[in-house]
Structure 1
Amino acid sequence: MKRHTLNHTSNLVTGSSTSFAAALFFFMLGISAGVFTELLMNSTEKENMINYLGQYLLLSNYNDVSFSKIFFSSAGNNLILLLIMAVSGLTAIGFPIALAALTYKGMALGFSAALLIDSMSYKGVALIFTSMLPQNLILIPAILIAGIAALNVAFHTISNRRFGMKKSLVESSGSYTFINIILIVAVLAGSFIESFISPLLTQLIV
């Protein structure tokens, strides 16, 4: 039984190259959209946004920063995104929502990175490596895997609808739940890095 569950879990992540390609495409589409959005902003809007991002990327006011507040904010935002994708997979026809979530995540990252580079040049590049890269080495794969799993569950349910959508969902529910539990742990780990480790790295160059 355990081997069957593990095999099914693996198939939900690696079983479809189409799901992988779709998830990656929409994530990269989001990054591109974020970069273009930043380029279209005027200088005043960029200045306001860099001040706003400074509260979350820890670019300034370290003495006033509540690291636990940043942790709960990061964990909350990413877990909500994870929940949205998980539910979209279970609803079968709601899988476009998972693609929209991937696009949103990519757009947020693309916009933030472009804003740092545009506003702070080489220092902005360094800040990307210290304030954004460490946690996203975990968060990005977790979000992508969540999207791929949601797509695979939805496609499996739709393709087997003649046998009953409810039956297909029951077959996938155990493995799907197992995947999402692992992803929740990964998101919490990424949020911990963002809240307590990335700030320490960022202080070295600010």
Structure 2
Amino acid sequence: MLKSRTLELYMKEHLSFYIFVGVVFVTGVVFGAVMVNALSIEQREEIARYLGNFFSSVHQGALDGEGAGSFREAFGMHIKWILLIWLLGISVIGLPLILILDFLKGVLIGFTVGYMVGTLSWKGLLFALVSVVPPNLVLIPVLLVCSVTAMAFTVHLVKNRFISRQGALYEPFMRFTGTMVGSAVLLVGVAGLEAYLSPVMMKWVTPMLLTVSGS
């Protein structure tokens, strides 16, 4: 009962933040997908050549035995993103920059999936499902929670320092930092998916993509 009340109170206080961040992220996804149509013929050909080489490398086992290195690289990239959100959260001017990060993350995902589907049709969708979707099923909610927590702390910080000047910052700061630490633990699983599961699934679908890319 206590947990349900705590969750209800949390959602009541943060629902508007989640809606706003969600809209920003989805807007980024749509913008990224639309960007695909703005590519020139030369840019499309360059990306197609890169993808063809990548598919060939995956099919030939280039990713085999690279799990540990890929894990470190993926985890390092994600933890830097979380650390940046944490740093922005403890700064007064960090709120709009957090929203920009969420928008850019949406753009990256929208562009990647949009290009794959627009160029390779259902086979591109299949590749996106095995390479992009699995880690992002965990990563996106983690980033959204971190962003909302950071924004809420920033708002609390502004109210405390410039408006009411009341209330201790220690407890909200520890909750904020604890959320970041918990998110970092979840990122271990995300990096594991990217390093060990996604390469196996990509190797499974690349033979079909090679026939499309002409490699």
TM-score (norm 2): 0.81
- Are the equivalent residues in 2 in contact too, given 1:92–1:153 (CA < 8 A)? no
Return the offset for 1:24. 0.6
2:59 is the alignment partner of 1:59: no
**Larger deviation, residues 43-52 vs 98-107:** 43-52
Within-5 A mapping of 1:18-37: 18-37=16-35
**Partners in 2 of 1:173 and 1:53 — Cα distance?**
44
Secondary structure of residue in 1 paired with 2:55:
coil
Structure whose alpha-carbon radius of gyration is higher: 2
TM-score (norm 1): 0.84
Within-5 A mapping of 1:18-97: 18-52=16-50, 59-62=55-58, 63-65=61-63, 66-97=66-97
Would the alpha carbon gap of residues 44 and 89 (structure 1) be closer, same or farther in structure 2, given more than 3 Å must change? same
**Partners in 2 of 1:52 and 1:69 — Cα distance?**
21
Name stretches of at least 5 consecutive residues in structure 1 with no aligned partner. Answer: none
Structure 1 counterpart of 2:173: 173
**Partners in 2 of 1:75 and 1:199 — Cα distance?**
16
Would the alpha carbon gap of residues 200 and 179 (structure 1) be closer, same or farther in structure 2, given more than 3 Å must change? same
Return the offset for 1:204. 2.0
- Are the equivalent residues in 2 in contact too, given 1:157–1:168 (CA < 8 A)? no
Within-5 A mapping of 1:1-206: 11=10, 15-52=13-50, 59-62=55-58, 63-65=61-63, 66-161=66-161, 162-164=163-165, 168-206=168-206
Runs of 4+ in 1 over 4 A off after TM superposition: 50-55
Q: CA RMSD in A?
A: 2.5
* Number of aligned positions between the proteins: 197
Name stretches of at least 5 consecutive residues in structure 2 with no aligned partner. Answer: 207-215
Describe the superposition over 1:65-116 as per-residue Cα deviations: whole angstroms up to 9, x where unpaired.
3333332332222222111111111113311111011011111100100111
